[in-house]
Structure 1
Amino acid sequence: MTRRASAIGRERGRWTAHEISLDDAEDLDGLTDLMRDISTELVIAFIEEDDEYLGIVRVDGDAGDPRVFLSDHRVLFTSALADRLFAAALPPPGSTDIDDESEDLLAGATPAGDIELLADVGTDAEALLELITEEGLLPGDVAAAISERAGCADILDEIGS
Structure 2
Amino acid sequence: MYFAALLARTEDGWEASDTELDEVETLTDLADLAREAAVDDDTVVAFIEQEDAWFGVVRVDGEEDPRVFVSHAAAAAKSSYGAMLTEELLGREDDDTSDLDSLDLDGTEDGEPETDPNDDNETTAESTSHAPPPGPLGDVELLSDLGVGPKELLMLENDALSQIADALGCTDVLEAVR
**TM-score scaled by structure 2?**
0.70
Q: What is the number of residues matched between the two proteins?
A: 139
Does the residue aligned with 2:64 lie in a helix, a strand or coil? coil
Q: What's the counterpart of residue 69 of structure 2?
A: 69
- Compared CA separation, residues 31 and 94, structure 1 to 2 (3 A): same
Output the aligned Cα RMSD.
Answer: 2.2
Instruction: Tell whether 2:142 aligns with 1:143.
Output: no
Shift of 1:32: 0.5
Q: Output aligned runs, 1:12-91, within 5 Å.
A: 12-39=11-38, 40-61=41-62, 63-90=63-90
Structure 1: which amino acid aligns with 2:144?
A
CA–CA distance in structure 1, aligned partners of residues 106 and 73 of structure 2: 9
Q: What's the counterpart of residue 5 of structure 2?
A: 6
Shift of 1:154: 2.1
- Compared CA separation, residues 130 and 30, structure 1 to 2 (3 A): same
Instruction: Tell whether 2:170 aligns with 1:152.
Output: yes
Shift of 1:90: 4.1
Equivalent position to 1:112, from 113, 137, 161: 137
Say which one has the larger Rg.
Answer: 2
User: Sequence identity of aligned pairs in percent?
Assistant: 36
Does the residue aligned with 1:154 lie in a helix, a strand or coil? helix
- Compared CA separation, residues 76 and 87, structure 1 to 2 (3 A): farther
Structure 1: which amino acid aligns with 2:82?
A
**TM-score scaled by structure 1?**
0.77
Q: Deviations over 1:25-79 (max 9, x none)?
A: 1111001111001112011111112321001100012x11000000011135422
Conserved 8 A contact 1:10-1:42: yes
Stretches of structure 2 lacking an aligned partner (at least 5 in a row): 92-103, 108-132
Q: Deviations over 1:71-125 (max 9, x none)?
A: 0111354222211244123467899xxxxxxxxxxxx941000001000111000
CA–CA distance in structure 1, aligned partners of residues 144 and 53 of structure 2: 24
Conserved 8 A contact 2:70-2:136: yes
CA–CA distance in structure 2, aligned partners of residues 157 and 94 of structure 1: 39
Does the residue aligned with 2:7 lie in a helix, a strand or coil? strand
Q: What's the counterpart of residue 123 of structure 1?
A: 148
Stretches of structure 1 lacking an aligned partner (at least 5 in a row): 96-107
- Compared CA separation, residues 76 and 143, structure 1 to 2 (3 A): closer
Structure 2: which amino acid aligns with 1:8?
L
